Amino acid sequence: MIVPWARWVPSPNASDREGVEVDAVVLHHISLPPGEFGGGHIEAFFQNRLDPGLHPYFRQIADLRVSAHFLIDRRGGCVQFVDTDRKAWHAGESVLGGVPDVNRFSVGIELEGDEVTPYTELQYQTLERLLGELMRAHPAIRPERIVGHEHVAPGRKRDPGPLFDWDRVREVAGRLGG
């Protein structure tokens, strides 16, 4: 599924789901460079065109090949990088419900943010709208299968972080999935 109201910026960092049904959403946070928002660096990163000369941190990650299906920026703008019928490379080594390779059966959503900055109201509004679209297009997604990167890669990842309002998102997802 391609969301018609999201800006389409295709990433080459995707592959076939091999017939596996989408039944989960994994929420992440990202800021490039760390702790800084805006600048288009996330899009460049997911398209393998991040300039390592722009920031010392970029030299560490410029050769990584990762993506997500969506990015929700601080102003609530939504960018789609990978069709949800394809596997985006967002969760890395991960397990959900005892099943490894979470990328095969999940949609990855990046929220522009970090562990110390609260997410914006506009980000939550866009996330809620997007979750509604995803749950209609992929009816196997249940509210309890909307998780954080911290839940599928514990000890390795901490996003979307302690400031994320899980109660709000779970309440909305429950209404959408009910």
Catalytic residue numbers, as ranges: 110
Handedness of CA 59, 154, 3, 123 (dihedral sign): negative
Find the distance separating the first CA and the last CA of the chain, reported in whole Å: 22
Residue labelled with tokens 């909307």: 146
Rounded distance between C-alpha atoms, residue 106 and residue 173, angstroms: 16
Tokens linked to 7 = 């800006």
What type of residue is 177? G
Residue labelled with tokens 């960092």: 13
Nearest C-alpha neighbor of 31 from the set 161, 174, 125: 161
Nearest C-alpha neighbor of 149 from the set 164, 162, 131, 161: 161
Q: Please tell me whether residue 151 adopts helix, strand or coil conformation.
A: helix
Rounded distance between C-alpha atoms, residue 159 and residue 95, angstroms: 15
